[in-house]
Amino acid sequence: MALVSRRETILGAAAVAALGLSGRVVLAQAASDTKMGHFSYKIGDIDIIGVHDGYWQMPLSPGFIGNAELEDVNAALEAGGHPRDIVPINFAETVVKTGGRTILVDAGTGGQLAPTAGNMRQNLEAAGIAPSSIDTILISHFHPDHIFGLMGKEGNAQAFPDAEIMVPETELAFWTDPATRSNTPEDRRGLLDRIQATLGSWENVTPFAAGAELAPGLVAKAAFGHTPGHTAFVVSSGSDKLVIAGDIANVPALFVANPGWHAAFDMDKEMAEAARRALFDEVVADGALIAGSHFGFPHDGTLSKDDEGYRFEPMAG
């Protein structure tokens, strides 16, 4: 992933963002109004609420998937019910209510990437969740579509000043490392500077280690590769399990069906592929639900093996 200047980050960061227990579970029927941008269900006794932030229609370019022919990518889009030459990027977040806490997983685009995205806060309110009631925010990684919702459109004022913001320690270390900055051309340091001014400086930011239990029934799981500290979150209650997978894969028709394809926005493509395959195999073996940040909407559903790849089936809205 190429780092960008602040101007490029604010005006064109969609390109950066798009350039992240044993036992069987019975697929829950979501209580939803997906036209309003939210749906809900339970994992055991834990409440899960899916929230839509918006979408971006990204023109398909020859370099988008480095190890696949453009015609094969278009064929995969068509097989998934999508138009050719357009990559449909949806943005969605997950709220977890457990242990008396209301936890938001990733913070969305903040309306700073595309005019068709930035609806998370209004959809939270439509779901009956006041943004001020969110006491914890878990961040999977530091790409703009996951962190810009933490900060104002102009400047770096906190959008959730009373929430504890929990971030992967490996991710924080990379993006705030002086060596990362010195190895990045000066005109491409805008995102680094903004991260340093916010997540690198705010007093309500708490780093966590992979494997840590962050709340009752909610554990951080290393899924490195998309970024150096990219992290998934596993929610478990009784025999039910949900994996909130962040950007382990993007559009299901492309990267779930073809887990060996390497997206332009995976920073370490071989590591990202290995993490993707391992996580998918675990989800299938455990009969877990999976939620992907860019899996459409609803963005939660089941995963199954399908020839050399996998098939994602979204839960009924």
Which of 9-23, 61-75, 117-131 comes out lowest in average pLDDT? 9-23
Cis peptide before 216 (omega within 30 of 0): no
CATH code at position 111: 3.60.15.10
Write the CB contacts of 232 (distance below 8 Å, at least 6 apart in sequence): 140, 220, 221, 222, 223, 243, 244, 245, 246, 248, 279
Which of 152-156, 248-252, 279-283 comes out lowest in average pLDDT? 152-156
The residue with greater pLDDT, 41 or 4, is: 41
Provide the number of structural domains found in the chain.
Answer: 1
Write the CB contacts of 89 (distance below 8 Å, at least 6 apart in sequence): 14, 17, 18, 55, 56, 57, 58, 250, 251, 294
* Domain presence at residue 316: no
Q: Which pLDDT does position 317 carry in this prediction?
A: 59
* Domain presence at residue 129: yes
* Domain presence at residue 68: yes
- As a 3-state breakdown, the chain gives helix, strand, coil percent values, each rounded to 5, of 25, 30, 45
* Domain presence at residue 207: yes
For the sheet containing 289-291, what is the strand order? 213-215, 218-222, 231-237, 240-244, 289-291, 300-306, 309-314
> What is the secondary structure of 116-163 as a DSSP string?
TB--HHHHHHHTT--GGG--EEE-S---HHHHGGGB-SSS--BSSTTS
Helix (H) or strand (E) holding 88: strand 86-98
* Domain presence at residue 317: no
The SS3 call for residue 218 is strand
According to DSSP, residue 18 is labeled H
Quick: pLDDT tens for 111-169. 999 999 999 999 999 999 999 999 999 999 999 999 999 999 888 999 999 999 999 99
Quick: pLDDT tens for 163-199. 999 999 999 999 999 999 999 999 889 999 999 999 9
* Domain presence at residue 160: yes
* Domain presence at residue 305: no
Domain that holds residue 198: 6-299
* Domain presence at residue 309: no
**Cβ contact 91:106 at 8 Å:** no
Position 68, amino acid = A
Q: What angle do CA 62, 274, 235 make, to 5 degrees?
A: 110
- Give percent of the chain above pLDDT 70: 88
Question: What is the average pLDDT value for the chain, to the nearest integer?
Answer: 90
